[in-house]
Structure 1
Amino acid sequence: MKVELKRVNNAVHFEGSAASSSVKVHIDGSPEIGGQELGSRPMELVLMALASCSSLDLVSILKKQKQEIVDFSVSTEGERREAIPHIFTTIHMTFNLSGKIDQAKAEKAAELAVKKYCSVHDMLAAGGVDITYEVVLNN
């Protein structure tokens, strides 16, 4: 796996790309360091990586179980320590699903998706981040 990062302007706006895709990701720093709100911040991307890694498997597992997903979203919130570097100490994900979905199947699928299949979860947890999640069905 390989990614490239290219500076876009004279501030701290970057464009990231991966060899496996033509999609570009815009990354920018906080205004305190010259950021101009032209992209996501790096630590936001870490939360997005965890949420998307877990969600890809969660949706896949539920589809294999013939659960009918009408809508899906995940809200992810992380707390960071005050000391530098400002690493995450806790992260909580809320999976919001609607459709014809069995609660027990959704709970089991979330457990597998987060704790067994998500490599981002394992990397963060190995670094001491306390990661929790919940499944909310909106039927």
Structure 2
Amino acid sequence: MAEGTQGKPPSKTVVTWAGDQQFDGGRASGGPTIRLDGRGATGPSPVDALGIAIAGCTGVDIVDILAKRRTPVESLSMEVHAERANAVPARVVAVDITYHIRGAGIERAHAERAIELAVTKYCSVGSSIDPATPIRWTLVLED
């Protein structure tokens, strides 16, 4: 068994070609699917989906961390910019995320700590990309 594979069960997904550069994917057990589109016309591109996955993964952790501090999040949105290499493959070389957080009683220091923990410790998606790829972030704490 590979290092770190104890604990959570493996993720099992199914992806089906839908024509052109479009693919539909979802959990192997069924349920909702998402459309990926290499051209970005009918859904996010695979690289967009990576950014969405990192933001969503860190978002789950941020909401949980702040809830444990008894400062629940009222709204959270993220803007993701994935910088890509100019060479083939045009891999992601840096990820910048702006977190917009709103919630009564949320202090800047607590929100920053929640983001830092989510990005550097808890988010399994972000931790799965090349360690040389920085995930940088900024916080906009809204009233």
Alignment partners' CA distance in 2, 1:102 and 1:57: 17
Alignment partners' CA distance in 2, 1:19 and 1:7: 15
Structure 2 counterpart of 1:52: 56
**Alignment TM-score, normalising by the size of structure 1:** 0.88
CA RMSD of aligned residues (A): 1.4
Match of 2:113 among 108, 112, 117: 108
**Alignment TM-score, normalising by the size of structure 2:** 0.86
> What amino acid is the match of 2:24?
E
Is contact 2:54–2:123 with CA below 8 Å preserved after alignment?
Answer: yes
Structure 1 counterpart of 2:17: 7
Identify the structure with the greater helix proportion.
1
Gaps of 5+ in 2: 1-10
Gaps of 5+ in 1: none
Match of 1:24 among 33, 37, 40: 33
Alignment partners' CA distance in 1, 2:52 and 2:120: 16
CA-CA distance at 1:125 after TM superposition: 4.2
Runs of 4+ residues over 4 Å off in structure 1: none
Q: Work out the percentage of aligned pairs sharing the same amino acid.
A: 32
CA-CA distance at 1:8 after TM superposition: 2.0
How many residues are aligned here? Answer: 132
Alignment partners' CA distance in 2, 1:20 and 1:4: 9
Is contact 2:58–2:118 with CA below 8 Å preserved after alignment?
Answer: yes
Is contact 1:78–1:89 with CA below 8 Å preserved after alignment?
Answer: yes
CA-CA distance at 1:21 after TM superposition: 4.8
* 3-state SS, counterpart of residue 69 of structure 1: coil
C-alpha change, 1:2 and 1:68, in structure 2 (3 Å) is closer
